[in-house]
Amino acid sequence: MTSPARPRPVLLTVDDDPQVSRAVARDLRRRFGEDCRIVRASSGVEALEALRELKLRGEPVAVVLADYRMPQMNGIEFLEQAMDLFPRARRALLTAYADTDAAIAAINLVDVDAYLLKPWDPPEEKLYPVLDSMLDAWRASPAAAAEDVKLVGHRWSPASFRARDLLARNAVPYRWFSVEEPEGQRLLEAAGATTDDVPVVVTPDGQVLRAPADAELAAVVGLTVDPREEFYDLVVVGGGPAGLGAAVYGASEGLRTVLVEREATGGQAGQSSRIENYLGFPDGVSGGQLADRARRQAGKFGAELLLTRDVVALEAHGPKRVLRFADGSTIAAHAVVLATGVSYRSLGVDGADQLTGRGVYYGSALTEAASCAGQDVYIVGGANSAGQAAVFFARHARSVTLLVRGPSLEASMSHYLIEQIAQIPPITVRTCTTVAQTHGTDHLESLTLRHEQTGEEETVPANHLFVFIGGAPRTGWLDGVVERDERGFIRTGPGLLADGDRPRGWALERDPWFLESSLPGVFVAGDVRADSVKRVASAVGEGAMAVTLVHRYLGES
């Protein structure tokens, strides 16, 4: 029995001017009509209705092209709502020359991929190349191959949460079915599985995975998990802002570059609902959008991205630097950039470990937003990541309580974010307050809070606790290979020259360069580096700087 042919991707165009609408559709059909279905609408409302119908029918939408000046709903407002229905569709704004400022705002506000000026004649020069690039980017994304992935799980199952989080953070679209709902039970029965097997994944071609490992799940939904080569010029370990910056600059400058990430690109920044102090984005940008752009940019230059691969050892074999994965396989390169970032520290109170993934979450866990509707949410932490999460969850929850150990937010949070939080009624900030204990059987049910100055305790009902405390570097696997400080952060450059002496075992005649570790040819960028500035912009800058030093190192080899 042959499987039915997958529907052609849709190119949707919306413009209230009938003449322009017909012209756009005509030009699109002439070039893309054989491979794509062209759908046009005369208003934002009509276009949203068309998108909802396409969503129900399971038809993929590849590109949405919207006019800026439309009554009732302009192009930016339309694209904001279209993103909710088809987040992986590429978006373009059609503008007149006088509206270029609006187009630039759209790039920041709704992550528009391109804007096109009217008139676009000749389309061979001004329209088709832009649409070709957008279609290529859509086809290259895992979404194109995994649009109908179904995930069946239990709301309070840590393994189910991890599977959802892995797919969401890697921008893989999926449909979630709870085992508590009839449709979830029907899917389990059809797959020959039971509730003991969750999470259960059903692929578009009918393949069934029961409680898959991360790498198995990543491979089946189209993510890359195996390297194409055995030897590279540069291996980047870690896919946060520093690692992505190194991958973009390394590949763009001609180095055979591969980036290895154990979970998802973006790191902690990738989980941020809104970054508002990053240069060039005056209206802010979500961490997921920033990571997606950087990921596509790295791929454009030819960098490989390996996901769900855990590096467990670094070895030096003469001029080669060899990285060993958890499964025993290896990858080698002339040079390495370590950009593994930091992970949030454990809450460390009674009950928290048992309830992780069952109401206690580390990081934003944006997949839990819908289940927070009408609930009381608690967030532990006083830095920017905690503040950004509070702003995000305030859109969904009945109340958000920010628990801060210190006497104020001023010492750890940006001023703009403090002012923003003060203007959002659902958010309450409780200073000098910590979590003393978590309570619950199969999921979080309540918290015991302690006031640090008075010692008084109170127990409050809670189903959702998000933890953002401190940052612990993941560097235990580097023990005895590179020098680290007492907290595990990697020393580099001047930090290695204690009393003017070079690191033990350093064989080169020169001193270590600024971002170079105690092992020549191994560089460090971002939060994992000792004495680094914990900001997205500085991490990206260090990633770029590390590549410059890699070139210098390769030149002396």
pLDDT digit string (tens) for 262-319? 999 998 888 887 888 888 888 778 888 889 889 989 999 999 999 999 999 999 999 9
Return the CATH number at 236.
Answer: 3.50.50.60
**Domain contains 4:** no
Contacts made by residues 186-190, CB under 8 angstroms, sequence distance 24+: 187/150, 187/152, 188/152
What's the structural domain count of the chain?
A: 4
Residue 205: the pLDDT is 73
Q: Is the peptide bond before 425 cis (omega within 30 degrees of 0)?
A: no
**Domain contains 243:** yes
Indicate the range of 27-31, 249-253, 457-461, 502-506 predicted with least confidence: 502-506
Residue 276: the pLDDT is 84
**Using 50, 70 and 90 to split pLDDT, how confident is the model at 54?**
confident
Whether 14 and 129 share a structural domain = yes
Whether 247 and 322 share a structural domain = yes
**Domain contains 505:** yes
Residue 175: the pLDDT is 87
Return the CATH number at 98.
Answer: 3.40.50.2300
Which of 451, 467, 483 terminates a domain? The answer is 467
**Domain contains 546:** yes
**Best CA proximity match to 139, nearest among 35, 24, 48:** 35
Give the sign of the dihedral formed by CA 126, CA 128, CA 129, CA 133: positive
Whether 247 and 211 share a structural domain = no
Whether 316 and 455 share a structural domain = no
Interval 378-402 mean pLDDT? 94
**Using 50, 70 and 90 to split pLDDT, how confident is the model at 174?**
confident
**Using 50, 70 and 90 to split pLDDT, how confident is the model at 110?**
low
Which of 107, 140, 173 terminates a domain? The answer is 140
Whether 32 and 77 share a structural domain = yes
Could you list the residue range(s) of the whole structural domain that residue 482 is in? Answer: 231-343+472-556
**Domain contains 354:** no
For 374-451, where are the alpha helices, taking DSSP H only?
384-393, 415-422
Whether 506 and 369 share a structural domain = no
**Domain contains 5:** no
Whether 127 and 18 share a structural domain = yes
**Using 50, 70 and 90 to split pLDDT, how confident is the model at 147?**
low
**Cα Rg of the chain (Å, integer):** 25
Return the CATH number at 188.
Answer: 3.40.30.10
Which of 105, 120, 140 terminates a domain? The answer is 140
Whether 279 and 312 share a structural domain = yes
Whether 129 and 175 share a structural domain = no
**Domain contains 157:** yes
Distance, in Å, from the CA atom of 149 to the CA atom of 387, rounded to the nearest integer, reads 33
Residue 101: the pLDDT is 67
Whether 267 and 200 share a structural domain = no
For 33-157, where are the alpha helices, taking DSSP H only?
44-57, 75-85, 100-109, 123-126, 128-140, 142-145
Two structure tokens written together for 296: 């596509």
**Using 50, 70 and 90 to split pLDDT, how confident is the model at 97?**
low
Best-predicted range by mean pLDDT (33-47, 93-107, 210-224, 516-530):
516-530
- Rounded to the nearest 5°, which phi and psi values hold at 393? -70, -20
**Using 50, 70 and 90 to split pLDDT, how confident is the model at 145?**
very low
Distance, in Å, from the CA atom of 442 to the CA atom of 339, rounded to the nearest integer, reads 36
Interval 47-58 mean pLDDT? 81
**Best CA proximity match to 239, nearest among 276, 269, 273, 284:** 269
Whether 132 and 279 share a structural domain = no
Interval 531-547 mean pLDDT? 94
**Domain contains 351:** no
Say if residues 23 and 121 touch (Cβ distance below 8 Å): no
**Using 50, 70 and 90 to split pLDDT, how confident is the model at 329?**
very high
As a whole number, the mean pLDDT across the chain is 90
Distance, in Å, from the CA atom of 278 to the CA atom of 491, rounded to the nearest integer, reads 26
Angle between helices 384-393 and 415-422 (to 10 degrees): 30
Whether 186 and 49 share a structural domain = no
Interval 425-448 mean pLDDT? 96
Q: C-alpha 68: how far from its chain's center?
A: 28
